[in-house]
């Protein structure tokens, strides 16, 4: 292990820690531009996080330790998942079969978020939790289908090496997987057209409604974790479709640029589409899962 | 010259759309029918050479069905003159054109040498039948037309898929791919077996839908019930025969490929099932036309069983093809007379028809005896032949079931027909009376049925035997 | 050539799922039109070289499947004044899942079929089977008459795809005849749809229940 590799891993981890709030800024900026507004500064998300960290904590009397632990557990789980997908390849953590850990780290985070929402006893939060879990039941298979299609042609069960394998003749699968994964990303990160992060009506919320009761540093952890999830899924998507370059640093640059591009695309999608009706969302998400499943079938044919 | 068989009815259809006189238009049908029958007779007796092109020719079962269709059409055409005169208030341009187009499509289907061409013709026949069913323009006829169109179109689409499968069997077998029936028969041993089997199943289901074999018969009672009687006669005698012809032609390819046993077992199963279903639904049937539709389902089953038995059974089936077609003409046309006279098709409204409309009711009653296999009519001979084939061919169970179902059908239809013909109901409620144009064709058809049952002319007998040897090719 | 062909077939499969997954009839018509457009490109790709026959079939398919038939359907849709399939027998989500299952079965099944070496590698046969199945699903689970017509169209599209492996066996006349028959069938069905709507004030096929055994 030479110095360049070590340095690379450090950069990967730093990117994972520092870049996520920037993505929120980019999305907001694109939306503002599309709407003809000046919009927030690019780094507004960092300032928000800093402000929240300085504030005090308020807890409802009905909540238990779950409510307090949830944001931290979710953040840590997300962070661990992020470590499995380095920007450049040859990451700090990784082993055969870690793709299952990857999916279940997200599930763990989701479990705690929803458990905390239920813990508050608020009907709105319970409703949000129900929606979140319903959709997750559909997005998880989609992610799995993408990962096992990858595994099928890379002959590996480790995320890091899987993502390095060239798709070769499986271009169709790649396109289907990417399309499915993009929808999963929009759902998982509560973006329009599935959820609106800026909505102000509890009834229409999904993710935001679950974290209404959090405050101060814990709310900062929630927001930060959400942004990190966006970063990780975007990284997965970009690494899926970009060819692997021989030079790890070049790969890193390309992937990072790609992640920012994904944020731009999300901004465009958010400014051009309207939210779909809640009842139709399961159809769309299971459509995404099906598309990835078809991709998988094509890959193993 | 022989291609005029196709051209004449096509021109007739075009003329019907252009000709303005609603009153005289039906005579076009008679003209077309007479010319068609004259040409058919000339072709069948060799006065004019049969068509022999890449796509059209005349094979032995084609000769049978061509004659049947032509005769039935003439009878229906003459009947149509009387029928449409009675319903003069209605514009009959589309009806006449569709009848003529139906004859075109059936003729092409009968003459086709190529599975693809045959498919196009059968589909065409299905489409031009829609206006015939919809002639009465009421709720019930819309419903019937819709079901007929949708089920029929899907069925025919399946037949196309089956045709493609058979073509692929040829491609996979490495032979020069072709859908020409004679090419397929010669290259049959090289055909890919799984594709051929799958193709036969789909063709059987697809054309079986057009034939009305159970369980693909659901559209039949509705369509036959709502269509005017003369259209019903052409459907039950002509369209079903053409669809059966399509199955026979593919069956021959299967026989030539050595898959005859497989194909026959499918035919036998569907045939017995059709007879059973028809028997069950005929009992207590109050609607005369629906009764005839189920009877048609039953007889399609008999055809399938006869062919599946092979040998003597095939002979019986080919004879039954003629006998059933002609008898169905008798039944549908005479039932239409009763329907018009009483303004109802239900046994609850019609009874004592033998007194009210003696001619039509007598014809109907005789038609009933004929179709249920009573001597001395044609179906008696053909059904007996098939039963004999079953017992001789060591299939006593098939034979026993066959006879049992015939009995059930006889009892079921008998109830309805007796109620209709006897009893002491009031006379006809409309101004419709039996006339020459609406009874003479029925007499003629009945005479033919009687002839088939008493003495089969030598040329016909030879043709039937030729059909058996044509069908029973071996690899 | 081969990979472009396969990609288009994958698109056809995805369009099947889309058609199954939406209840808005106008959307289904558009999807079927798009599918017709994609299908029309296939004859040009399927045979390696572009012959006059494939060009004619392509042009006819574009004109009929992607333009004329959708126009007739939109006209019918305007006449019957409905917008969506309200209560299909099984929900759109479930029928989409069944469609996906059908595609999986078709892929698995086609693997075991005896195919020539050339066709064994392409997606033509499984895509054809999957499309036929999707058409059947639409036909049997939708209750509006116009949706059933769309199911019939998808079914025909599947058969059209299967026809791609049969260039030499099926003559042009038959292919064109099949296309024209389809147009006439849709035309007649479109007329009937209007009549159904006028007589029954609905095109729900459950209203078509006068004819049955009592």
Separation between Cα atoms, residue B297 and residue B304, nearest integer Å: 11
Contact B150 C155 (CB under 8 A): no
Residues of chain C contacting A293 with CB distance shorter than 8 Å? 100, 104
Contact B164 C156 (CB under 8 A): no
For the segment B273-309, what is each residue's pLDDT rounded down to a tens digit? 999 999 999 998 999 999 999 999 999 999 999 999 9
Share of chain A above pLDDT 70, in %: 97
Which of B120, B195, B280, B294 is the best residue to mutate to test the C interface, defined by the most C CB atoms within 10 Å of its own CB? B120
Structure tokens at C11: 């698109």
Contact B194 C188 (CB under 8 A): no
Q: Which one, of A58, A182, A209, lies nearest residue A125 by Cα?
A: A209
The band of C203, judged by pLDDT with boundaries at 50, 70 and 90, is confident
Name chain C's partners: 3 or more CB pairs within 8 A: A, B
pLDDT over threshold 90, residue A79: yes
Please list, residue by residue across A55-67, b when 16 or more beta carbons sit within 10 angstroms of its beta carbon and e when fewer do. Answer: eeeeeeeeeeeeb
Residues of chain C contacting B161 with CB distance shorter than 8 Å? 132, 158-159, 162
C196 in contact with chain B, both atoms CB, cutoff 8 A: yes
Contact B143 C213 (CB under 8 A): no
Q: Nearest C-alpha of chain C: how many angstroms from A175? A: 9
Q: Nearest C-alpha of chain C: how many angstroms from A159? A: 26
Q: Nearest C-alpha of chain C: how many angstroms from A70? A: 33
The band of C123, judged by pLDDT with boundaries at 50, 70 and 90, is confident
- Which of A64-73, B133-142, C33-42, C77-86 has the weakest average pLDDT? C77-86
Compute the C-alpha angle B373/B376/B382, nearest 5°. 50
The partner residue sitting opposite C96, judged by closest CB among A169, A172, A287, is A287
Separation between Cα atoms, residue C91 and residue B364, nearest integer Å: 50
Separation between Cα atoms, residue C2 and residue B147, nearest integer Å: 41
Separation between Cα atoms, residue A207 and residue A116, nearest integer Å: 12
Backbone phi and psi for residue A126, each to the nearest 5 degrees, phi listed first: -60, -40
Separation between Cα atoms, residue C108 and residue A100, nearest integer Å: 26
The partner residue sitting opposite A297, judged by closest CB among C18, C96, C107, is C107
Top pLDDT among A168 and B162 is at B162
With CA atoms as reference, the chain C residue closest to B152 would be C185
Burial class (CB in 10 A: 0-12, 13-18, 19+), A199: middle
Share of chain B above pLDDT 70, in %: 100
Q: What is the mean pLDDT of residues A152-172?
A: 80
Contact A176 C103 (CB under 8 A): no
The partner residue sitting opposite A287, judged by closest CB among C21, C103, C123, is C21
Neighbours of B346 (CB within 10 A): 17
Top pLDDT among B229 and A97 is at B229
User: What is the per-residue pLDDT for B292?
Assistant: 96
Domain-by-domain residue ranges, chain C?
Answer: 2-206
Between the two ends of chain A, the Cα-to-Cα distance in Å is: 39
Which residues are paired to B346 by β-bridges? B287
Q: How many CB pairs under 8 A join A and C?
A: 51
pTM reported for the whole predicted model: 0.89
Backbone phi and psi for residue B114, each to the nearest 5 degrees, phi listed first: -125, 130
pLDDT over threshold 90, residue C113: no
Ordered DSSP codes for C58-73: HHHHIIIIIIIHHHHH
The partner residue sitting opposite C17, judged by closest CB among A171, A290, A301, is A290
Neighbours of B79 (CB within 10 A): 29
Question: ipTM of this predicted complex?
Answer: 0.94
Separation between Cα atoms, residue A260 and residue B246, nearest integer Å: 64
Q: Which one, of A142, A140, A68, lies nearest residue A110 by Cα?
A: A140
Per the CB < 8 A criterion, the answer to whether B256 and B475 are in contact is yes
Neighbours of C212 (CB within 10 A): 11
Contact A283 C6 (CB under 8 A): no
Neighbours of A200 (CB within 10 A): 8
Query: What are the C-alpha distances in Å from B19 to residues B35, B94, B360, C154?
Result: 19, 11, 32, 39
pLDDT over threshold 90, residue B53: no
Q: Which one, of B140, B102, B97, B143, lies nearest residue B123 by Cα?
A: B102
- DSSP secondary structure code for residue A201 in this structure: -
B160 in contact with chain C, both atoms CB, cutoff 8 A: yes
Per the CB < 8 A criterion, the answer to whether B464 and B318 are in contact is yes
C188 in contact with chain B, both atoms CB, cutoff 8 A: yes
pLDDT over threshold 60, residue C1: no
Q: Nearest C-alpha of chain B: how many angstroms from C188? A: 8
For the segment C28-65, what is each residue's pLDDT rounded down to a tens digit? 999 999 999 999 999 888 776 778 888 998 999 999 99
Neighbours of B475 (CB within 10 A): 10
Separation between Cα atoms, residue A236 and residue A163, nearest integer Å: 8
Per the CB < 8 A criterion, the answer to whether B220 and C211 are in contact is no
Alpha-carbon Rg for chain B, nearest whole angstrom, is 21
Q: How many whole angstroms from its chain centre is CA B354?
A: 28
Ordered DSSP codes for C70-116: HHHHHHHHHHHT--B--S-SS-HHHHHHHHHHHHHHHHHHHHHS---
SS3 A61: coil
Between the two ends of chain C, the Cα-to-Cα distance in Å is: 58
Which of B143, B158, B174 is the best residue to mutate to test the C interface, defined by the most C CB atoms within 10 Å of its own CB? B143
Kindly tell me whether chain C and chain B come into contact, counting contact as 3+ Cβ pairs under 8 Å: yes
Separation between Cα atoms, residue B331 and residue A29, nearest integer Å: 81
For the segment B206-219, what is each residue's pLDDT rounded down to a tens digit? 999 999 998 999 99
Which residues are paired to C24 by β-bridges? C84
Residues of chain C contacting B139 with CB distance shorter than 8 Å? 199-200, 210
Neighbours of B93 (CB within 10 A): 14
User: What is the per-residue pLDDT for A157?
Assistant: 86
């Amino acid at each position: 292990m030479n110095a360049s590799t070590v340095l690379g891993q450090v950069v990967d981890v730093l990117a994972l820690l520092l870049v996520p709030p920037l993505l929120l800024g980019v999305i907001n900026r694109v939306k503002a531009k599309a709407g003809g507004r000046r919009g927030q500064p690019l780094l507004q998300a960092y300032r928000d996080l800093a402000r929240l960290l300085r504030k005090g904590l308020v807890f409802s009397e009905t909540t238990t330790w779950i409510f307090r632990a949830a944001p931290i557990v979710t953040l840590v789980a997300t962070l661990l998942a992020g470590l499995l997908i380095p920007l450049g390849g040859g990451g700090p953590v990784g082993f055969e079969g870690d793709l299952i850990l990857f999916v279940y780290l997200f599930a763990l985070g989701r479990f705690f978020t929803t458990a905390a929402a239920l813990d508050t006893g608020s009907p709105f939060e319970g409703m949000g939790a129900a929606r979140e879990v319903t959709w997750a039941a559909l997005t998880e298979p989609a992610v799995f289908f993408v990962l096992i299609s990858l595994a099928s042609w890379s002959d590996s069960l480790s995320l890091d090496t899987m993502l390095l394998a060239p798709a070769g003749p499986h271009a169709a699968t790649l396109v289907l997987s990417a399309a499915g994964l993009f929808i999963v990303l929009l759902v998982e990160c509560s973006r329009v057209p599935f959820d609106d992060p800026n909505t102000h009506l509890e009834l229409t919320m999904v993710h935001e409604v679950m974290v209404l009761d959090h405050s101060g540093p814990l709310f900062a952890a929630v927001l930060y974790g959400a942004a990190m999830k966006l970063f990780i899924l975007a990284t997965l998507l970009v690494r899926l479709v970009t060819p692997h370059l021989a030079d790890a640093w070049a790969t890193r640059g390309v992937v990072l640029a790609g992640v920012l591009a994904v944020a731009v695309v999300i901004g465009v999608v958010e400014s051009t589409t309207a939210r779909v009706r809640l009842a139709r969302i399961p159809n769309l998400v299971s459509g995404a899962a099906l598309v990835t499943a078809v991709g998988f079938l094509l890959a193993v044919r | 010259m022989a291609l005029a068989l196709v051209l004449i009815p096509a021109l007739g259809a075009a003329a019907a759309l252009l000709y303005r006189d609603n009153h005289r238009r039906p005579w076009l049908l008679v003209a077309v029918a007479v010319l068609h029958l004259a040409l058919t007779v000339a072709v069948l007796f060799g006065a004019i050479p049969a068509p022999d092109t890449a796509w059209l020719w005349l094979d032995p079962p084609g000769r049978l069905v061509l004659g049947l269709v032509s005769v039935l059409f003439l009878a229906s055409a003459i009947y149509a003159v009387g029928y449409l005169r009675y319903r003069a208030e209605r514009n009959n341009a589309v009806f006449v054109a569709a009848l003529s187009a139906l004859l075109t499509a059936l003729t092409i289907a009968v003459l086709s040498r190529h599975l693809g061409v045959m498919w196009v013709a059968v589909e065409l026949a299905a489409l031009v039948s829609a206006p015939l069913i919809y002639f009465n323009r009421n709720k019930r006829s819309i419903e019937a037309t819709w079901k007929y169109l949708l089920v029929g179109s899907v069925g025919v689409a399946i037949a196309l898929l089956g045709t493609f499968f058979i073509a692929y069997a040829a491609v996979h077998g490495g032979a020069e791919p072709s859908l020409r029936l004679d090419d397929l028969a010669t290259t049959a041993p090289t055909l890919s077996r799984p594709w051929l089997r799958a193709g036969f199943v789909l063709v059987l289901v697809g054309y079986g839908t057009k034939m009305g074999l159970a369980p693909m018969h659901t559209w039949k009672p509705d369509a036959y019930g709502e269509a005017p009687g003369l259209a019903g006669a052409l459907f039950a005698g002509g369209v079903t025969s053409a669809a059966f012809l399509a199955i026979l032609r593919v069956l021959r390819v299967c026989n030539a490929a050595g898959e005859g046993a497989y194909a026959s077992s499918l035919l036998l199963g569907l045939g017995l099932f059709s007879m059973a279903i028809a028997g069950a639904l005929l009992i207590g049937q109050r609607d005369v036309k629906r009764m005839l539709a189920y009877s048609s389902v039953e007889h399609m089953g008999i055809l399938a069983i006869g062919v599946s038995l092979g040998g003597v059974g095939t002979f019986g089936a080919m004879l039954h093809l003629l006998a059933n077609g002609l008898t169905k003409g008798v039944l549908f046309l005479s039932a239409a007379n009763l329907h018009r006279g009483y303004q109802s098709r239900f046994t609850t409204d019609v009874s004592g028809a033998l007194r009210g409309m003696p001619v039509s009711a007598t014809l109907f009653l005789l038609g009933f005896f004929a179709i249920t296999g009573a001597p001395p009519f044609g179906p008696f001979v053909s059904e007996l032949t098939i039963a004999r084939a079953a017992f001789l061919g060591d299939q006593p169970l098939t034979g026993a079931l066959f006879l049992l179902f015939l009995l059930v059908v006889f009892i079921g239809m008998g109830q309805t027909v007796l109620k209709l013909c006897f009893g002491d109901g009031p006379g006809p409620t409309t101004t419709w009376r039996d006339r020459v144009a609406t009874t003479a064709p029925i007499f003629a058809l009945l005479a033919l049925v009687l002839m088939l049952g008493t003495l089969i002319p030598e040329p016909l007998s030879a043709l039937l035997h030729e059909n058996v040897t044509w069908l029973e090719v071996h690899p | 050539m081969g990979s472009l062909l396969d990609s288009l077939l994958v698109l056809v499969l995805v369009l099947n799922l889309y058609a199954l997954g939406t209840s808005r009839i106008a959307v289904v018509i558009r999807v079927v039109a798009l599918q017709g457009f994609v299908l029309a490109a296939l004859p040009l790709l399927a045979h390696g070289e572009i012959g006059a026959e494939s060009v004619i079939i392509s042009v006819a398919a574009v004109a009929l499947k992607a333009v004329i038939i959708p126009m007739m359907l939109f006209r019918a849709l305007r006449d019957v004044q409905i917008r969506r399939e309200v209560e299909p027998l099984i929900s759109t989500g479930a029928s989409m899942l069944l469609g996906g299952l059908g595609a999986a079965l078709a892929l698995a099944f086609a693997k075991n079929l005896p195919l020539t070496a050339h066709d064994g590698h392409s997606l033509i046969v499984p895509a054809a089977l999957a499309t036929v199945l999707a058409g059947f699903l639409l036909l049997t689970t939708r209750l509006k008459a116009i949706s059933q017509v769309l199911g019939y169209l998808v079914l025909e599209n599947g058969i059209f795809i299967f026809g791609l492996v049969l260039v030499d066996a099926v003559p042009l006349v038959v292919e064109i005849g099949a296309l024209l028959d389809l147009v006439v069938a849709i035309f007649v069905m479109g007329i009937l749809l209007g009549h159904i709507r006028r007589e029954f004030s609905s095109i729900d096929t459950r209203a078509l229940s006068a004819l049955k055994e009592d």
